[in-house]
Amino acid sequence: MGSFAFKATKWTLDLATKIIKADVRMHNHEAIQDDMAIVFVVNHFTRIETLLLPYEIHRHTGKEVWSLAHASLFMGRIGDYLRSVGNISTADPDRDKIMVSSLLSGRNPWIIFPEGAMIKDKKVIGPKGEYEVFHDGQRRPPHTGAAVLALRAEFYRHKLRCLSANPTQKGLQEVLNKFQLQSLEEALDKRTVIIPINITYYPLRSRENFLVRAARGLFEGISERMIEELSVEGTILSSESDIDITLGNPIDIREYLETEKFAPLLACGEGDLEALELDTRSLFNDTARDLTRDYMKKIYSMTTVNYDHIFSTIIRFQKHRKFKERAYRNRIFLCIYLLRKMKNFRLHQLLETTYRDIIYEDYSPKFHSFMDLCIREKWVRKEGDAYYKNFELKRGRFQFHSIRMEEITYVIANEVEPLPDLLILIKSIAQAPRHRLSEEIRKVFLKEDRQIYTE
C-alpha cells in the first residue's frame, strides 16, 4: 500500500462530505507533529467515524490514515477494494508486521477503536468504576491492541538504535528487512505516540431522515437494526447537528518503556520480545493494560459537554418527583455557570455563548426539545406547568441495538458518566433545596452586575 491507497478513496470521501451538512469542528490538530509515528485511539458510536475521521485528519494535516477492518468484510470485490484503500483485515496473518512497519517508518498513522465495536448505549463505566463496554452479549474491558502495537513499535525502534550503535551492527539488516525499512534513519528520526480522540455529537436524536427514506425506496424489507442505525446516523449528518472532534495531547510511548522494570528488556543485548508477549502476566502486557486505561480516560475526559448532558443528568439525580419548568431551568443555568468557572471540561460553544438564554428566554427551544424527548420516553410526564419524574421507570431496559431509538435520553446521560467531577457538581445542584438554589443564583446576578458596572 502507498499514497495510491488514500488517493483511490479520496473521490469517495469527497462525495461523502457533500452529504455531511453537520458543522464539523476539529480541535487541537496542531498537536500532530512531523516527528511522530501515530496511533489514534477513538471512541466509537456510529459508522460515521470510520469515514469522517480519516478525511478530517487528512484535510487538516495532509496525513494519509490507515485503519483496521473486520475480517468479515474482506470478501470478493469489496475485500479487494478495502485492501486497495489502506485497510487491513483483523485476520491478516501479517497484520502486526504491517502495522509495526508503518509505525517504525512513520509513513502512515493508524486509527484504532479500542472499544472494539460501536458502543450504542455509551455505557462505559462498570459498577466498580472501571472501564467496560457491552459487546457480543457481555461486558468486557476495552481492547489493549492499540497499546501493544505502540509498545512493540517503540521497542523495535529502541532495538534498532542499539544495533546501529554496535560496532558489528549484527542483526541490523535483518530487522530492516523484516519491516521493509528503506533506511535506519527513517526509523530513528521518529517517536511512537498515541493520540486520544473524542467525537461528540449534538444534539443526539433518532428520527426519520433522508437516509432512512432512501433505504426504504431502494430495498424491500430492510431490518429494524438498519432503520435504527440510519435513523441516528442520518440525523447526525444533518445541518442541525454539530460534530466536535477533539484531539488530546500525544502520549509518548517512551515514557512507558524507559522505566526501571524494563531496563533488562531494553538493554542493548539479546532479547526476545515475542516470547515476552506470549506471557499474559508479563511486564509488557501489564504495561499495555495500564496504557489502555490511561488513554481511555483521556478519550472520555474530552467529551464536549452540551445542554442535553446537563438536562439528562439533572433529571437522573433529582430526588423530588415534581419540578416546574423554572426549577429545571434555574438548575441548568447554575450548572453551566459553575462549569464555565471550573475550566476543566470541554464545553460546547453554545454553553459558552448562550447559557444566560436558558434563564432569560420566555420560551427555550433547547429545553423543550429535550423535555419532549423525556416525555416521549416516559421518563417524565407533564401536567399543567409541572413535570413529574417517573421514578418507577427502569432505565436501560431496551436491547442494545434499539436503545438509541427507544431511550436516547439514557444514552445521552451515560456519555458523561466518565466525568466524576461533573457528576458531583450536577448532583449537588439537582438535589439542592429551592431556597439555596435561589440564593446562589442571586449571588451570580449580583456578581455579574458588579462586573458590568466596573467595566
pLDDT at position 386 over 90: yes
The residues, ordered by sequence, that sit 6+ positions from 111 with a Cβ below 8 Å of its Cβ are: 40, 42, 50, 53, 54, 65, 66, 67
Q: How far apart are CA 408 and CA 120, in angstroms?
A: 10
Phi, psi values for residue 35, rounded to 5°: -85, 10
Q: Number of C-alpha atoms within 13 angstroms, CB side, residue 164?
A: 14
pLDDT at position 78 over 60: no
**pLDDT digits 0-9 by tens, 12-23:** 556 556 778 899
Query: Domain boundaries in the chain?
Result: 3-199+246-301, 204-240, 305-454
Residues 427 and 317: beta-carbon distance below 8 Å: yes
Phi, psi values for residue 196, rounded to 5°: -70, 145
Lowest mean pLDDT among 60-64, 263-267, 275-279, 410-414: 275-279
Q: Name the helix (H) or strand (E) containing 120.
A: none
**pLDDT digits 0-9 by tens, 89-111:** 778 888 888 899 999 999 889 99
Q: How far apart are CA 156 and CA 162, in angstroms?
A: 10
The residue that leads in pLDDT, 190 or 92, is: 190
What is the pLDDT at residue 81? 62
Q: How far apart are CA 49 and CA 442, in angstroms?
A: 44
Q: Residue range 288-314: average pLDDT?
A: 97
pLDDT at position 4 over 50: no
Q: How far apart are CA 355 and CA 310, in angstroms?
A: 12
Q: How far apart are CA 210 and CA 203, in angstroms?
A: 17
Residue 273 banded pLDDT, cuts 50, 70, 90: very low
Residue 5 banded pLDDT, cuts 50, 70, 90: very low
C-alpha cell at 443: 449571588
- Name beta bridge partners: 387: 323, 382
pLDDT at position 193 over 70: yes
Region for residue 378 given its phi and psi (left: phi exceeds 0; alpha: psi -120 to 50; beta: otherwise):
left
What is the pLDDT at residue 338? 96
Nearest Cα residue to 291 out of 41, 24, 79: 41
CB burial of 49-68 (b: ≥16 within 10 Å; e: otherwise) equals bbbbbbbbbbeebebbbbbb
